[in-house]
């Protein structure tokens, strides 16, 4: 292997490492700055049915409830650790 080949490989390795560290940094910033609280929206369908939609950023779940008491139950289950 020549010195030039060695420099090229080192440069390529350094570029890959830099790209990886940049992605890691972005992921860490998103993790620590993202709101981890669930989002709850309320909707009434055309047929008059009420819907509460819970989007949980931690579990990546979307939960649809048909009553406020269901929403309260879900929140109690999420925050009450036994």
| Between 36 and 48, the higher pLDDT residue | 48
pLDDT in tens, 66-81: 999 999 999 999 888 6
Please indicate, yes or no, whether residues 15 and 55 belong to a single structural domain of this protein: no
Domain that holds residue 18: 1-34
pLDDT band at 1, cuts 50/70/90? Answer: low
Please indicate, yes or no, whether residues 66 and 46 belong to a single structural domain of this protein: yes
Q: Into how many domains does the chain fold? A: 2
Please indicate, yes or no, whether residues 26 and 42 belong to a single structural domain of this protein: no
Spatial contact of 54 and 63, defined as CB atoms under 8 Å apart: yes
If you average pLDDT over residues 56-71, what whole number do you get? Answer: 92
**58 to each of 3, 37, 39, 52, 82, how far by Cα in Å?**
49, 8, 11, 18, 19
Please indicate, yes or no, whether residues 21 and 1 belong to a single structural domain of this protein: yes
What's this model's pTM, rounded to 2 decimal places?
0.55
Please indicate, yes or no, whether residues 51 and 64 belong to a single structural domain of this protein: yes
- Looking at residue 70, what DSSP letter applies? H
Task: Say yes or no to pLDDT of 21 above 60.
Answer: yes
Please indicate, yes or no, whether residues 82 and 44 belong to a single structural domain of this protein: yes
pLDDT band at 52, cuts 50/70/90? Answer: very high
């Amino acid at each position: 292997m020549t010195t030039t080949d060695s420099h090229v490989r080192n440069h390529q390795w350094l570029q890959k490492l830099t790209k990886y560290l940049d992605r890691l940094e972005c992921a860490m910033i998103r993790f620590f700055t993202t709101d981890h609280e669930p989002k709850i929206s309320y909707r009434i369908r055309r047929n008059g049915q009420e819907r509460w939609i819970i989007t949980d950023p931690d579990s990546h779940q979307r939960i649809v409830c048909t009553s406020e008491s269901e929403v309260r139950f879900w929140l109690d289950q999420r925050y009450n650790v036994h």
